[in-house]
Chain A
Amino acid sequence: MTYIAKPKIDLPGQKRNVLGLLQRDYEGSMSTLCAGCGHDSITAALVQALWELSIAPEKLIKLSGIGCSSKTPAYFVKGAHGFNSVHGRMPSVATGAHAGNRDLICIGVSGDGDSLSIGFGQFGHAIRRNLNMLYLIENNGVYGLTKGQFSASADPGSTAKKGAPNLMQSINPVATAIAMGASFVARSFSGDREQLVELIKAGIAHPGCALLDVISPCVTFNDHEGSTKSYAYTRLHKHQATAADFVPAAGEITAQYAEGEVISVKLHDGSSIVLKKADSDFDPTKRSSALGYLEKHRDLGEIPTGLLFIDEDWPEMHAIYGTAAKPLNAFTFEELNPGREALEKLQREMR
């Protein structure tokens, strides 16, 4: 059941999804980010992807940490519960929420500061538990909200607005995630809506922790010449390693692909991801291949995008723990409480 607050006017050309909802119904409140901020484009991609997937708003939860990026859950799907938590700790709240109700579709939005500095630990452990969620890092190489300090994802040599270069190594969330055993790792660019929408869909369908690192330029603090996270730099250096098409369960793979360059990954819910590879020496189902590929392109000064690694069989958190299929918050008290007799019996052993 869904309820829409806005009066419904069917404008010509506006499509409804399977639930009868307009794309507008997947919007949230007005963004307060800077005009041109990459984060807003990601929000728009989320709106489109969620609408196309026909996800019932009430089945979705949106969580985040703190930062400009972490403000964005307020800007999509107003009909979903949201949780803007504390800096760097979104994954733990998502873990608890998912522990309590495994049926919810969970989107976590984070920033490079939020996930790679203060929240680096929680980022790693969400991956380690293979928490069933879409984990988005809106990556701009700076702390936007605290006015432009370098973040841990700033590349060596990349310069700050006033010209000072970053001299430290950057933490690459994609390579880190693959090395830590993530089951779904992808990278995209806020300026590439088409790719982003497909990866969001694939990430949501993936039964585990889907890490999606999105280069998302900060127009106010990190879009100048000398920055390696600017629009211009990213456009010039991104290299599409794979093109992913998400095919829903009921859908049919119709596109024609050249032999040998295509992998189709079937997901547990019957949907599949069709991957078109740019390079024949790259196998995104093999960790060593993915890491090697990333290093090779780093040497070439390129930023590989697309779905970079997938292992759809690695068990997610509840499978590992053996939790009941029914969400824990749906059990009645009678199903949870052992009762008086059991307590009496138990205490016979305590004498």
Chain B
Amino acid sequence: MPATQSRINDFVLKIATVNGTGSASANGLLMQALFRMGIPVTGKNMFPSNIQGLPTWYEIRASRNGYMARSGRVDIMVAMNAQTYQQDMNNVSPGGFLVYDSTWPRERSMTRNDITILGVPLSKLCNENFSVARMRILMKNVAYVGVLAALLDIDLDIVHALLEETFVAKPKLVEGNLQAIRMGYDYAKANFACPLPVHAEKMGDNAGQILIDGNAATGLGCVYAGATVGAWYPITPSTSVMDAFTHYCEMFRTDPDTGEKRYCIVQAEDELAAAGMVLGANWVGARAFTPTSGPGISLMSEFIGFAYYAEIPSVFIDVQRVGPSTGMPTRTQQCDLMLCAYASHGDTRHPMLFPANPGECFELTVKAFDLADRLQTPIFLMSDLDIGMNDWMVPQLEWDDSYRPDRGKVLGPADLDKMERFVRYTDTDGDGITYRTLPGEDSRGAYFVRGSGHNRQGGYTEDSKEYEDVMQRLLIKWETARKMVPPAVMTRAKKKTRLGILAYGSSDGAVVEARDQLAQQGIHTNYLRIRGFPFGTEVLDFLHDHDTVFVVEQNRDGQMKSLLKLETNNPADKLVSILHFNGMPITSDCVVNGVSQHLAAEAAA
């Protein structure tokens, strides 16, 4: 037996299966069971761009310390896919365990001495116990849940309860599932020393926490923000935002008596059209949004510049994926910052919001609509595949019933009564934001939206001065936006330090864990998590107050670093990139290594 550290409630369980074999529900069951045992968990789906047949992995991290990032370890691998067996075996951390279906023998050359290999004849057991072919395949996945329940000491009562909740309408299915779980459980109990030194232990009930993916939270945010029009063109990994919006609208926005829908979801012919629809709806005063990913933003760019210049509120949700081009559509990156910050031709700049987890997806989606209405400009919610499509444990979403949307500067007939004459683009408040009216209300408020040169009255112009006048005002509005986007969050080191780490979005979890590990090595870092663009003064202060600032991000070119260089006048050599762009969510190891290697090189120099 290889030496194994005892790891209680601190392990990574990875399950390798084949896409389309129905393993998702088995994996979800494991994740939820651990969650109900009170253990902080996260689940990462590593899936191919394929509907059926290619390898897929699900990685569950249980962390009693509540770390949410990938750690880079694999303590237990369930290798259900013969095709990737060798690779999966190689990926197990020394001292770890590999569970596989031993119905068919594996090549003897495939072995390792530093891990424990546990063979369970899952197919054989299923064939003996189930007669229907489809059941035999599906139950194989459920059976490994049983094996793991024994090996990891997962509470079977909880598993039972979860199954009953899942199949309330189909109690027959509960029986079949339970039978498969028992089968795996009993086999493991009879053949292995259960539980393993790596196992779970009940540590509470995770009260106040929920399991949710970011896209569901974003879709819910759109409902709570009062969005009524959604326009979209399907694209991974953003599709489930609209799925969620649809689902929650059906639930909350359908008149119980008449069946009338208080929402309108248009599946557009392409992203260009989706952007046009968002502009049209917001123009008439309905909150509207579009969820998309990088390729969609590329197509929407002409309209984005239009919305910037004609000043139309609009919300663009970019669930980022690996580019360029089609790239790796089912893998994650933070790679659209430059694209979105300056999307479109001409002088354009757009506010961006960076949620770090599903909880913030909900909160910042609502914020995005308020900012769009207030600033009358496109707002980008910069999510990514890791946040959007993976399962996160976050504190329960909160809602304050006294919240009312900020619809910004909109004049109605009563306001027009008091005015000599309405003009669209004159700044009377000094904040760069002008007043608009809504079509359908009052002909005195009529104005003409155009992307061509216009003056402060809203009239067509080719006059240089009039053109410059409007463009200069838009810069004043940009300064107003700076004060309105959510501020960066500062976390100080326990000791005074001149080292800073700056990150955003889904890199947060890795940084949080890395900072603890670095502190144990005596490296103390202050941490600034950016949540909004344009950068507020707190970002400038942070850069000023540190000698070295590590900028952690998930792209090749250091896009946030570029933005910091472009938008602040700060010595560029202060900024040190820590980059991770292989498409898998960033690990804490990556941050730890990046920081320590730089410091070692600096010390050697």
- A interface residues (Cβ-Cβ under 8 A, vs B): 1-3, 56-59, 61, 63, 73-74, 78-86, 89, 91-101, 103-104, 121-122, 124-125, 129, 318, 321-325, 327-329, 331, 333, 335-340, 342-344, 346-347, 350-351
A74-B260 Cα distance, complex, nearest whole Å: 36
A78-B405 Cα distance, complex, nearest whole Å: 31
Q: Across the interface, which residues of A come within 8 angstroms of B224, CB to CB?
A: 337-338, 343
Q: A83-B283, A336-B228 are in contact. Are A96 and B277 (CB under 8 A)?
A: yes
Q: Across the interface, which residues of B come within 8 angstroms of A84, CB to CB?
A: 448-452
Interface of A is mostly: helix
* Contact indicator A104/B284 (Cβ below 8 Å): yes
Interface of B is mostly: mixed
* 5 additional A-B residue pairs with CB within 8 Å, beyond A83-B448, A96-B229: A80-B439, A82-B448, A86-B302, A99-B288, A329-B438
CB distance from A100 to the nearest CB of B (A): 3
Residue in contact with A96 in the complex, picked from B226, B279, B451, CB distance below 8 Å: B279
The yes or no answer to B270 lying at the interface (CB within 8 A) is: yes
Residue in contact with A333 in the complex, picked from B231, B405, B439, CB distance below 8 Å: B405
CB distance from B124 to the nearest CB of A (A): 36
The yes or no answer to B499 lying at the interface (CB within 8 A) is: no
Give the total of B residues in contact with A, Cβ under 8 Å.
76
Residue in contact with A336 in the complex, picked from B211, B226, B260, CB distance below 8 Å: B226
Please encode chain B, from 253 to 274, with 1 for each CB lying within 8 Å of some chain A CB and 0 for all others.
Answer: 1010001111111101110111
The yes or no answer to B36 lying at the interface (CB within 8 A) is: yes
A96-B287 Cα distance, complex, nearest whole Å: 10
A79-B223 Cα distance, complex, nearest whole Å: 34
* Contact indicator B275/A92 (Cβ below 8 Å): yes
* Contact indicator A93/B260 (Cβ below 8 Å): no
| Count of A-B contacts judged by CB separation below 8 Å | 233
Residue in contact with A125 in the complex, picked from B226, B269, B279, CB distance below 8 Å: B269
B421 to A, closest residue via Cβ: A5
Residue in contact with B229 in the complex, picked from A89, A99, A122, CB distance below 8 Å: A99
Q: Across the interface, which residues of A come within 8 angstroms of B283, CB to CB?
A: 81, 83, 93, 96-97, 100
- B interface residues (Cβ-Cβ under 8 A, vs A): 32, 35-36, 206, 209-212, 220, 223-224, 226, 228-229, 231, 248, 251-253, 255, 259-266, 268-270, 272-286, 288, 302-303, 306, 396-401, 404-405, 413, 437-452, 460
CB distance from B413 to the nearest CB of A (A): 7
* Contact indicator A103/B262 (Cβ below 8 Å): no
* Contact indicator B252/A328 (Cβ below 8 Å): no
Q: Across the interface, which residues of A come within 8 angstroms of B401, CB to CB?
A: 339-340
Query: Shortest 9 CB-CB distances between A and B: which pairs?
Result: A96-B280, A92-B276, A100-B286, A79-B443, A96-B277, A81-B439, A100-B281, A97-B280, A96-B281
* Contact indicator A3/B443 (Cβ below 8 Å): yes
* Contact indicator B443/A328 (Cβ below 8 Å): no
CB distance from B279 to the nearest CB of A (A): 6
A333 to B, closest residue via Cβ: B226
Q: Across the interface, which residues of A come within 8 angstroms of B280, CB to CB?
A: 63, 83, 92-100
Q: Across the interface, which residues of A come within 8 angstroms of B397, CB to CB?
A: 343, 347
A79-B397 Cα distance, complex, nearest whole Å: 45
